[in-house]
Amino acid sequence: MNTQSIIYMDNAATSWPKPPGVTEAMKRCMREAAANPGRGSHEMAVRASRVLFEGRKALARLFRIQNPNDIAYALNTTQALNTALQGLLKPGDHVITTSLEHNSVRRPLEALRRKIGIEVSYVQTNAQGTVDLSKLRQEIHSRTKLIAVTHSSNLLGTITPVGDVGAIAKAHGVKLLVDAAQSAGVLDIDVGAMGIDLLAFPGHKGLMGPQGTGGLYIHPDLDLEPLMYGGTGSSSESPEQPTARPDRYEAGTQNTVGIAGLTEGVKFVLAETTERIHRRELELTRQLMEGLRGIPGVTLLGPGPETERTAIVSFLMEGFDPSEASFILDRQFGIAVRSGFHCTPLGHQSAGTTETGAVRASPGYFTAESEIVSLVEAVKEMMATLRKTN
């Protein structure tokens, strides 16, 4: 497959390409440090442990986390979210979340509602994905334990004012879980200043690492029940999961090679800065939205280009089913976008696209302006061809 000719606009699912250092770091780790971390005292095992610690340090710098050991690695955002939700919530607890959430928040919550009897309130956003914070505040009651919000919608690109939600949570003694799947590496995140108690993030999207990486920040005052129990290489004589972090939340051998790549991705983000990355992605998003908005029959979803948002452009093409549109974009024009229902049925309800789903194009930091032009021209051509044949 000639990847040179692909126009990749599916960065919201997994970012691609990666900074060159990522692949190199993974190769180097495989050659020099791919022993079992935390399990042995021989030279290569120590090197493997160091790989994990270097990654934690870089992540702690990025999210302004004081103690790197408050970060537990995870396979992806979903595992991190499950560790947070299943580890924190007890029967009778109340959780407030929004209609914007990904199934990775909603499904664990619904499973907990069914299995242990938690209460869940969904605050409806408007069609642009904006959460009314006064509505969110009104839902708080004496059993409310947690507010869980996505930092940015994977359907609409809307940004949730997490710091304001954090202030509301703090004022009412409620914990805050943030799903940073679409914001880690793109928007500035300061867990202390934003009042975040739990931060779930992927390694394979904005942090530019490989798949199979991600993590969860857990505030030092929180003790979650681990999602998984097992070998940690520490306190091996005890039948209990250790209480020391990060081992408490990292049962089993970690993805050392993947984390070597993730560390390099995070270092790239730190060097470029989230401010520059976000600004660049916003420019590309605006260019794409302006281009698409001028095409008859194309409807854009989410906040307009003038609004601060992440690089997610969902749209409808009149006369095309979104999956048909993405198939044609791929096969005829070599452009990779995503289509369908983006794992957020309530989000589609809010946006009014429950029946249709949507095409989603998500440029990334490495997208070129010429690639945006190619996508706009392809959509234009598809719409013109349809008009001619009708």
Q: Which is nearer to ligand PLP, 155 or 169 (CB)?
A: 155
- Residue 150 touches ligand PLP, criterion: CB under 6 A: yes
Q: Residue 346 pairs with which residues in a beta bridge? A: none
Q: Which is nearer to ligand PLP, 34 or 127 (CB)?
A: 127
Closest CA to 341 of 356, 351, 329, 361: 356
Residues 6+ apart with CB under 8 A from 180: 77, 151, 189, 199, 200, 201, 202
Which run of H or E residues covers position 97? Answer: strand 94-98
Judged by CB under 6 A, the number of residues near ligand PLP is 13
Q: Which of residues 153-172 bind ligand PLP (CB under 6 A)?
A: 154
Q: List the x/- string, 309-348, binding to ligand PLP by CB under 6 A.
A: ----------------------------------------
Kindly report the number of other CB atoms within 10 A of residue 132's CB atom. 13
Q: Which is nearer to ligand PLP, 78 or 97 (CB)?
A: 78
- Describe the chain by its helix, strand, coil percentages, rounded to 5: 40, 15, 40
Q: Which of residues 210-239 bind ligand PLP (CB under 6 A)?
A: 214
Convert 175-213 into a string of H (helix), E (strand) and C (coil).
EEEEECCCCECCECCCHHHHCCCEEEEECCCCCCCCCCC
Stretch that binds ligand PLP, among 74-82, 128-136, 185-193, 223-231 (CB under 6 A): 74-82
- Residue 185 touches ligand PLP, criterion: CB under 6 A: no
Torsion of CA 249, 250, 256, 261, to 10 degrees: -20
Tokens of 368: 């070129």
- Residue 179 touches ligand PLP, criterion: CB under 6 A: yes
Q: How far is the CB of 119 from ligand PLP (least distance, A)?
A: 22
Largest CA distance in the chain: 75
Q: How far is the CB of 367 from ligand PLP (least distance, A)?
A: 18
Q: Which is nearer to ligand PLP, 55 or 242 (CB)?
A: 55
* CA distance to 293, 297, 366, per residue, from 381 (Å): 14, 12, 25
- Residue 65 touches ligand PLP, criterion: CB under 6 A: no
Among 202, 210, 246, 303, binds ligand PLP (CB under 6 A): 202
Q: Let me know: does 194 contact 188? Beta carbons within 8 Å.
A: no
Alpha-carbon gap, residue 138 to 154, rounded angstroms? 26
Q: Which is nearer to ligand PLP, 78 or 367 (CB)?
A: 78
Q: How far is the CB of 339 from ligand PLP (least distance, A)?
A: 14
Q: Which is nearer to ligand PLP, 49 or 83 (CB)?
A: 83
Supply φ then ψ for residue 242, to 5 degrees. -60, 155
- Residue 104 touches ligand PLP, criterion: CB under 6 A: yes
Specify the 3-state DSSP secondary structure of 32: helix
Q: Which of residues 254-293 bind ligand PLP (CB under 6 A)?
A: none
Stretch that binds ligand PLP, among 42-50, 90-98, 179-187, 363-371 (CB under 6 A): 179-187
Q: List the x/- string, 5-44, binding to ligand PLP by CB under 6 A.
A: --------x-------------------------------
Supply φ then ψ for residue 283, to 5 degrees. -60, -45
Q: How far is the CB of 78 from ligand PLP (least distance, A)?
A: 3
Residues 6+ apart with CB under 8 A from 118: 89, 90, 91, 92, 93, 94, 95, 109, 112
Q: How far is the CB of 129 from ligand PLP (least distance, A)?
A: 11
- Residue 77 touches ligand PLP, criterion: CB under 6 A: yes
- Residue 78 touches ligand PLP, criterion: CB under 6 A: yes
Binding site for ligand PLP (CB under 6 A): 13, 76-78, 102, 104, 150, 154, 179, 181-182, 202, 214
